[in-house]
Amino acid sequence: MYTAAAGMAAQQQRIDAASSDLANTNTTGYKHVRVAFRDLAYQAAGRGGTQDVLLGSGAAAAMVGRSQGQGQLKLTGQPLDVALQGAGFIAVTGRDGKPAMTRDGELRTDDKGRLTTVAGLLVSPVITLPAGTDASAVKIGADGTVSANGRALGALRIVTVPNPSALAGGPDNTFTATAASGAAGTAPKSTVVTQGSLEASNVDLSTAMVDLMDAQRGFELASKAITYQDQLAEIANGIKR
């Protein structure tokens, strides 16, 4: 019964991950979650033949990070939209004032002319467009440099970490560095910033649907094991009486 319960908990985590992926199929720059399973503790159950017999305690699911596969680029023609091709993230400042990063390049300007994400997070370092600047006059180079009407205004800081799969997902489609991911540093020069495009989610819809149905079937099977064990225990108690 405990083994089946552990299986239900593991499949529930898998369901949550697949559901999140499906819900973010159309989220710009979203990276799908990867889930793996591991065995729980084994203990000796005696000897059978010439080999030791071990009884396991079931399985557990663990988030092993996010896939960093490149999402398809969608041409928007909007001058403030940017997509990253290659490793890296756009450095932003989270709502808590701490450093964060995102692949969502759907940029906007606030009432002070500062570049922000669509969620309102300031890019880091802050880039301010001169008053009255039309978005069509903004040019964003392949290296992230931002200019308007021939005047350099700054550059988007493109960062990466040693282990991107271990980044923690945050609010507003952002990621934050963890001890496992390592500290953020400058992205490789091979990363290209493309103006007028956005990176689509890298979730494969058909794969996510299959994973979700498979996890639901596994959850149902584990729950039936608990039901049958309960029925057997009830029969055993009835015989004893």
**Complete DSSP assignment for 38-88:** EE--EEEEEEETTEEEEEE--EEEEEEEE--PPPPEEE---TTBEEEESS-
Q: Are residues 174 and 223 located together in one domain of the fold?
A: no
Tell me what pLDDT residue 41 has.
Answer: 63
* One domain, residues 112 and 193: yes
- Residues 225, 162 share a domain: no
**Cα separation of 106 and 185, whole Å?**
22
Looking at the structure, tell me whether residues 20 and 89 fall in a common domain: no
Q: Whole-angstrom Cα distance, residue 31 to residue 68? A: 6
Q: Which domain holds residue 229?
A: 2-67+203-240
By the 10 Å C-beta count (0-12 exposed, 13-18 middle, 19+ buried), 17 is classed as buried
Name the nearest CA neighbour of 121 among 142, 143, 100.
100
On the 0-12 / 13-18 / 19+ scale of CB atoms within 10 A, 78 is middle
Do 83 and 186 fall within a single domain? yes
Short-list 94, 93, 101, 102, CA closest to 28: 102
Residue pLDDT tens, the chain, 241 long: 778 888 888 888 889 989 999 999 999 999 888 887 777 766 666 555 545 666 666 777 777 778 888 999 999 999 999 999 999 999 999 999 999 999 999 999 999 999 999 999 999 999 999 998 999 999 999 999 999 998 999 999 999 999 998 888 888 999 999 998 999 999 999 999 999 999 999 999 999 999 999 989 988 988 888 888 888 878 877 876 6
Bin 217: left if φ > 0, else alpha if -120 < ψ < 50, else beta: alpha
**pTM exceeding the 0.85 threshold for the entire prediction:** no
Same domain, 92 and 136: yes
Q: How far apart are the first and last CA of the chain?
A: 23
Q: Which ranges in the chain belong to alpha helices (H)? A: 2-23, 205-240
Residue 204 in contact with residue 77, Cβ under 8 Å? Answer: no
Domain check: are 179 and 82 in the same one? Answer: yes
**Structurally, how many domains does the chain consist of?**
2
Give the pLDDT score at 50. 47
The reply to whether 16 and 80 lie within a common domain is: no
- Indicate if 163 and 50 belong to the same structural domain: no
Same domain? 18 vs 77: no
Q: Are residue 38 and residue 79 in the same domain, yes or no? A: no
Q: Are residues 128 and 61 in the same domain?
A: no
